[in-house]
């Protein structure tokens, strides 16, 4: 091909090739770009950034001191700042910088974040003594440590206070952990027991068997639980007093002081004084907290463990349901049903169900599973709980079942594909040796097709883990009071509502009162979900490719 001038270049069709190649490049960039943005924003959140102190000089106003982390910096046309009513000089460069500072101290300032004009920040510095305190309420506090108190008496102040604080904070956190365990596990168990007693009494009453003896039995059990509760309550009170023993006084950037009980403090650190190694350690700690801890402050702080746990439990139950049904249907379609136009239609229909919008399954799940099935179950087996629904309300079981129906086509299609791929010779060999059909299937065909089933199952799990729309209708909530699996009988609470990673993203990102503060956590959650799902998919792809190689070998 001659390539002398533009004209012949166009004539050769090369522009089309390059344009279509460009489409591939754009698609790849979009995918990787999305993943990169999520990864950077999600992982960056846990890094203890330096806290910047600076004098903020708005023209025509007294300068004030700002203390906070720089979250975002952007270039803004000067005109836009002018239009928003800021006293910006009309003359000057085309752009100005605008910075988003996380200043914390929501209880003092009203909001965690402040947009500032970069040009007005003067004299930036990062003093070592700046203390960041993560609190259980009101978000972070940025300021300086004034003193440490015990029962209202100052025990350390000035430079010595930091060492004292670390020591006492450790103690307070230990106590706090015990306190939470008591509250959650022991008192939870007692409440559970009381509720069961109430239901038992009601059931006896409904059956007409609530006589004096039964009543006395129940009363005795109730009294015993009550006594245990009293003891625990005393213990709790004592612990609370101990946790609240120490407190610290902090000074904010504007000079106001605030006293915080150590029971309200999760951790305190001085990012500006930390070495890179310290920061790495801190980072790892935060990351661990993120995956292993409970959420705090309306899900905008803390971890996402209940969401991870809820997702995993739901997906496991779904897998347990969908695998046998999917496999049986596929075996029937491929091995037993007479192949003809009807099976072709069924096959197309099953295939297409995978393309039906997931919200439709959610609507079906809510209407059929929750109201029809759940309502009947309640009437038949749980009349004692009425009018409060047991299974007649969205819950874990229904969420899993809905997802099972949703992913059924995926499993059926994958399994069928696996069955179809097994060479005829293998089956015929088995039959020729005298095996029955089921023996051939069970001993030869299904073991050979098991990787295909595995692929289908993994794809189903990946789809289920990422699905949110149907779950919003059938059992996922923003904050579940307890995990669906615990030490109280019947251990696995199928009727309970659960938290879910995907819904967590939606809820925290869009329904939360403090979206700005929650945003990094949403990115981190999204990253986790993406990684899990990408891994699942990649493993499915790997198994599929591996399988192909194996069959190729078989055919020769």
Partner 1 sequence: MNDLAKQSQGSVGNPLGIDFDTPALKRKRRVRALKDRLARWYVSIGGLAVLGAITLIFFYLAHVVLPMFQGAELQPQDAAQPAWLAEAGEPLLLAIEEQNQVAMRLAANGRIQFFALHDGSPLSSVELPLPAGAGVVAVGRDQPGSRRIALGLSNGTVLVLEHNYRVSYPDNVKTITPQVDFPFGAEPIPLDERGRALEHVALSLDGDSLLLAGAVGPELRLVRLTREENLLTGEVTVERQGIELPQIADPIRELLLDPRQRWLYVLNGRATADVFDLRQRRLNGRYPLLSGQREVTAAASLLGGISLLVGDSGGGIRQWFMVRDAEGNARLQAIRDFRLGDAAIRQILPEERRKGFLALDDAGRLGIFHSTAERTLLVEPVAEGPVLAALSPRASRLLVEDGGQLRRFVVDNPHPEISWRALWGKVWYENYDKPGYVWQSTSANTDFEPKLSLSPLAFGTLKAAFYAMLLAAPLAIAAAIYTAYFMAPRLRTKVKPAIELMEALPTVILGFFAGLFLAPFLENHLPGIFSLLLLVPLGILLAGYLWSRLPDALRLRVADGWEAALLIPVVLGVGWFALAISGHLENWLFGGNMRLWLSNELGIPFDQRNALVVGLAMGFAVIPNIYSIAEDAVFSVPKSLTFGSLALGATPWQTLTRVVILTASPGIFSALMIGMGRAVGETMIVLMATGNTPIMDANIFEGMRTLAANVAVEMPESEVGSSHYRVLFLAALVLLLFTFVMNTLAELIRQRLRSRYASL
Those residues whose C-beta lies under 8 Å from the C-beta of residue 540, and which sit 6 or more positions away, are 455, 458, 459, 462
Binding of residue 467 to partner 1 (CB under 8 A): yes
- Of residues 333-352, which lie at the interface with partner 1 (CB under 8 A)? 333, 335-337, 346, 348-352
Cα separation, 104 vs 101, in Å, equals: 9
CB of 543 to partner 1, least distance (A): 13
Binding of residue 356 to partner 1 (CB under 8 A): yes
CB of 102 to partner 1, least distance (A): 16
Binding of residue 453 to partner 1 (CB under 8 A): no
When the beta carbons of 15 and 481 are compared against partner 1, the nearer one is: 15
CB of 5 to partner 1, least distance (A): 10
Binding piece for partner 1, criterion CB under 8 A, among 23-31, 148-156, 206-214, 238-246? 23-31
Is-cis flag, bond preceding 31, omega within 30?
Answer: no
Tokens, residue 121:
């920040």
When the beta carbons of 246 and 467 are compared against partner 1, the nearer one is: 467
Percentages (nearest 5) of helix, strand, coil residues in the chain: 60, 15, 25
Binding of residue 88 to partner 1 (CB under 8 A): no
Binding piece for partner 1, criterion CB under 8 A, among 27-35, 218-226, 302-310, 382-390? 27-35
Tokens, residue 449:
């097709």
Please say whether the beta carbons of 51 and 68 come within 8 A: yes
Residue pointed to by tokens 């004592």: 238
Please say whether the beta carbons of 260 and 248 come within 8 A: yes
- Of residues 284-303, which lie at the interface with partner 1 (CB under 8 A)? none
Cα separation, 320 vs 330, in Å, equals: 16
Binding piece for partner 1, criterion CB under 8 A, among 47-55, 150-158, 295-303, 467-475? 467-475
Binding of residue 468 to partner 1 (CB under 8 A): yes
Binding of residue 251 to partner 1 (CB under 8 A): no
Q: Looking at 130, 329, 397, 413, which residue binds partner 1 (CB under 8 A)?
A: 329
Q: Looking at 9, 109, 138, 305, which residue binds partner 1 (CB under 8 A)?
A: 9
Phi, psi of 475 (to 5 degrees): 145, 10
CB of 80 to partner 1, least distance (A): 5
When the beta carbons of 220 and 388 are compared against partner 1, the nearer one is: 388
CB of 281 to partner 1, least distance (A): 30
What burial class does residue 546 get, using C-beta atoms within 10 Å of its C-beta: 0-12 exposed, 13-18 middle, 19+ buried? exposed
Please say whether the beta carbons of 88 and 81 come within 8 A: yes
Binding of residue 87 to partner 1 (CB under 8 A): no
- Of residues 307-326, which lie at the interface with partner 1 (CB under 8 A)? 325-326
CB of 464 to partner 1, least distance (A): 10
- Of residues 485-544, which lie at the interface with partner 1 (CB under 8 A)? 502-503, 505-506, 509-510, 515, 519, 522, 526, 529-530, 533-534, 536-538, 541
Please say whether the beta carbons of 113 and 99 come within 8 A: no
Binding of residue 388 to partner 1 (CB under 8 A): no
3-state secondary structure of 387: coil
3-state secondary structure of 352: helix
Phi, psi of 247 (to 5 degrees): -150, 165
Binding of residue 28 to partner 1 (CB under 8 A): yes
CB of 458 to partner 1, least distance (A): 11
With CB under 8 A, what is the number of residues at the site for partner 1?
110
Single out the residue of 546, 518, 360 nearest to residue 451, CA to CA. Answer: 546
When the beta carbons of 285 and 509 are compared against partner 1, the nearer one is: 509
CB of 399 to partner 1, least distance (A): 13
Cα separation, 164 vs 162, in Å, equals: 5
Cα separation, 24 vs 27, in Å, equals: 5
Binding of residue 94 to partner 1 (CB under 8 A): yes
When the beta carbons of 361 and 382 are compared against partner 1, the nearer one is: 361
Chain-centre distance for alpha carbon 132: 26
| CA dihedral for 420, 426, 432, 438, sign (positive or negative) | negative
Single out the residue of 512, 523, 517 nearest to residue 138, CA to CA. Answer: 517
Binding of residue 43 to partner 1 (CB under 8 A): no
Cα separation, 171 vs 338, in Å, equals: 72
Binding of residue 553 to partner 1 (CB under 8 A): no
When the beta carbons of 165 and 313 are compared against partner 1, the nearer one is: 313
Binding of residue 367 to partner 1 (CB under 8 A): yes
Please say whether the beta carbons of 225 and 188 come within 8 A: no
Single out the residue of 268, 81, 87 nearest to residue 173, CA to CA. Answer: 268
Interface map 391-430 toward partner 1 (x if CB under 8 A): --------------x--xx--x------------------
Residue 156 CB neighbours (<10 A): 19
CB of 329 to partner 1, least distance (A): 4
Tokens, residue 90:
């009309």
Interface map 197-236 toward partner 1 (x if CB under 8 A): ----------------------------------------
């Amino acid at each position: 091909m001659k390539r002398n001038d533009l004209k012949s270049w166009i004539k050769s069709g090369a522009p089309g090739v390059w344009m279509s190649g460009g489409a591939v490049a754009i698609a790849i960039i979009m995918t990787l770009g999305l993943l990169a943005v999520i990864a950077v924003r999600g992982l960056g959140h846990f890094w203890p950034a330096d806290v910047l102190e600076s004098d903020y000089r708005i023209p025509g106003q007294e300068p004030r001191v700002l203390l906070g982390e720089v979250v975002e910096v952007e270039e803004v046309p000067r005109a836009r700042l002018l239009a928003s009513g800021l006293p910006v000089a009309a003359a000057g460069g085309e752009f100005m910088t605008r910075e988003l500072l996380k200043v914390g101290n929501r209880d003092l300032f009203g909001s965690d974040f402040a947009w500032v004009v970069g040009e007005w920040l003067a004299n930036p510095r990062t003093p070592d003594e700046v203390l960041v305190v993560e609190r259980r309420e009101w978000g972070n506090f940025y300021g300086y440590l004034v003193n440490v108190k015990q029962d209202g008496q100052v025990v350390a102040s000035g430079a010595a206070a930091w060492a004292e604080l670390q020591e006492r904070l450790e103690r307070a956190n230990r106590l706090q952990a015990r306190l939470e365990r008591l509250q959650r596990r022991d008192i939870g168990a007692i409440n559970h027991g009381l509720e069961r007693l109430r239901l038992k009494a009601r059931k006896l009453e409904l059956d007409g068997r609530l006589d004096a003896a039964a009543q006395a039995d129940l009363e005795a059990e109730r009294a015993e639980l009550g006594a245990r509760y009293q003891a625990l309550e005393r213990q709790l009170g004592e612990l609370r007093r101990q946790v609240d023993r120490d407190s610290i006084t902090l000074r904010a950037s504007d000079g106001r002081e605030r006293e915080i009980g150590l029971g309200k403090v999760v951790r305190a650190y001085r990012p500006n004084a930390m070495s890179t190694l310290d920061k790495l350690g801190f980072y790892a700690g935060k990351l661990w907290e993120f995956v292993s801890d409970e959420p705090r402050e309306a899900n905008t702080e803390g971890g996402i463990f209940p969401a991870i746990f809820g997702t995993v439990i739901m997906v496991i139950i779904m897998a347990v349901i969908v695998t046998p049904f999917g496999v049986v249907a596929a075996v029937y379609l491929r091995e037993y049903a007479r192949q003809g136009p009807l099976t072709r239609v069924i096959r197309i229909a099953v295939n297409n169900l995978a393309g039906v919008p997931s919200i439709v399954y959610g609507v079906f799940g809510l209407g059929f599973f929750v109201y029809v099935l759940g309502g009947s179950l309640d009437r038949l087996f749980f009349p004692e709980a009425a009018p409060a629904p047991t299974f007649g309300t969205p819950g874990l079981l229904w969420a899993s079942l809905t997802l099972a129906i949703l992913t059924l086509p995926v499993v059926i299609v994958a399994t069928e594909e696996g069955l179809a791929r097994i060479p005829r010779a293998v089956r015929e060999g088995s039959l020729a040796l005298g095996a029955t059909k089921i023996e051939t299937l069970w001993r030869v065909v299904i073991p050979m097709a098991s990787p295909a089933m595995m692929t289908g199952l993994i794809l189903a799990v990946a789809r289920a883990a990422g699905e949110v729309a149907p779950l919003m209708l059938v059992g996922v909530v923003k904050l579940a009071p307890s995990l669906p699996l615990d030490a109280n009988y019947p251990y696995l609470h199928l009727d309970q509502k659960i938290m879910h990673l995907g819904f967590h993203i939606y809820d925290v990102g869009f329904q939360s009162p403090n979206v700005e503060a929650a945003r990094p956590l949403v990115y981190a959650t999204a990253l986790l979900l993406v990684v899990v799902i990408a891994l699942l998919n990649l493993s499915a792809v790997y198994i599929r490719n591996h399988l192909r190689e194996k069959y190729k070998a078989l055919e020769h």
